[in-house]
Structure 1
Amino acid sequence: MLTPMQTIMRIQTSRLSTLAFSILFLSCSVNATDAVSPAFDCQKAQSQVEVLICQDNQLAKLDMQINATYQKVINQISSKEIANVKAFQRGWIKGRDDCWKAAKIKQCVQSSYETRLTELQIAAGEFEVPEPIQYECGLEANDTLTKVTAYFYNDTAIPAAMLTVSPTSDYINATNLALLTRTASGAKYQGQNFSFWTHQSEATLSQYAQADLNCKSH
């Protein structure tokens, strides 16, 4: 026969065991509930990057966002444009999967997702088109006036500027997307072969292999 003290000890041990099991069960349930699946089938994941996405909720959510916004774009364009958009998307996926070569793989994948999501959000018209700001650039540098119309998007995955530039050059198109990067002062938008650095009513347009152009809004 157990003494009163032994009975109390056994009850306490039983309660602790039950509590520990309950905590473990709840933890497993929460993890299972919180798990996020990407838009692709993780059972068929092949690349190192795809496996990482399936294991990381943040990346999986970004994949779902990309897929939903991509479908919006597809539904809004003509059949002639769809082939080009799909080819570009396949190229982007290949570039994303090349992040396995990066020193920080997740950071590379996340940056790839956020950049592409920003492009798609603007293409899909998910945000109201901002009021344009007109700039005149470079008249004092080469007697050729470069006109820039800037649309600044602040609510996209990465804040961005859509710039229309006239005249164009060998390194800049008529319409260009630039993404906000961190700077000590002002706002620097980085695009392919160019950057656009704004500060109050002034800006600097920098292009590959060309002199910087000073710009003023009007």
Structure 2
Amino acid sequence: MTVLFSYRTVCKRLLLAIATLGIPAHVHAGVAPSFDCTHVEAGSIEADICASDDLAILDRQMDEVYRQARQKATDQHPPTLAAEQRGWIKGRNECWKSPDRMACIRDQYQLRIAELQALYRLVASDGPHVYGCDDAPGSEVVITRFKTTPPTLVAERGDSVSLMYLFDGGGVYQGRNETFIEREDAATVTWGYGATPMQCRKR
């Protein structure tokens, strides 16, 4: 005899089975992140990651990239890296305030992964390239590009270092208070908040 169940009946039985097994409803059988999903709080950012294959994949990638960075940081103050990572997790968890939580979480992962890959030289790079600038005699900016997602470059000027991201195809890299606008063998560089742009040429 064929028995037909309504969609509502199937859903109720599925939820009952989940509850019986003691598995939180936000945990699914897809890709697992690097942490245990059975103990995360419902409605948390971790629950969002557990419920999304794409975010779970990014979390696993982050776990691997962070492990590689820790190996590189053995002689570079590893407590600093650990503290920065804790700060990043706190910032990621602030995505609950975003109108698009999933996009916010994804962006946080992609930017942090790219940052670690660039700062710890974990991916292929192009450079260093030296640009002489017109603001003062001997002034120069040294850049190294990295094949991250999104693309990044690390710029050095004197004792200062800036990580910049390329967010479009127009050759505009943006850091915290620095920009590097590339035009063939020349670049316009702004170094510091409110600073006057410098015209620089590749040497």
TM-score range, shorter chain: 0.7 to 0.9
Cα gap change, 1:124 to 1:216, in 2 (>3 Å)? closer
Partner of 2:15: none
Shift, 1:80, TM fit: 6.8
Partner of 1:209: 194
Q: TM-score, normalization: structure 1?
A: 0.73
Partner of 1:4: none
Partner of 1:77: 73
Amino acid at match of 2:186: E
Q: How does 1:82-101 map to 2 (within 5 A)?
A: 82-101=78-97
Partner of 1:158: 150
Deviations 1:18-37 (A, max 9, x none): xxxxxxxxxxxxxxx97111
Cα distance in 2 for residues equivalent to 1:144 and 1:80: 33
**Structure 1 spans left out of the alignment, 5+ residues:** 1-13, 18-32, 169-173
Deviations 1:58-102 (A, max 9, x none): 111000000011111212322772211111100000000101111
Cα distance in 2 for residues equivalent to 1:85 and 1:105: 26
Contact 2:119 2:154 survives alignment (8 Å)? no
Q: How does 1:30-45 map to 2 (within 5 A)?
A: 35-45=30-40
Q: How does 1:10-29 map to 2 (within 5 A)?
A: none
Which range moves more in the overlay, 107-116 or 74-83? 74-83
Cα distance in 2 for residues equivalent to 1:159 and 1:79: 27
The CA RMSD measured in Å over matched residues stands at: 2.4
- Match 1:130 to one of 114, 126, 141: 126
Kindly name which structure, 1 or 2, has the bigger radius of gyration based on alpha carbons. 1
Contact 1:49 1:99 survives alignment (8 Å)? yes
Paired residues in the alignment total 178
* Structure 2 residue 108 is the aligned partner of structure 1 residue 120: no
Partner of 1:176: 162
Contact 2:68 2:122 survives alignment (8 Å)? no
Cα distance in 2 for residues equivalent to 1:79 and 1:128: 22
Instruction: Give the structure with the higher percent helix.
Output: 1
Partner of 2:8: none
Identity over aligned pairs, percent: 28
Displacement over 4 Å in runs of 4+: none
Cα distance in 2 for residues equivalent to 1:202 and 1:123: 24
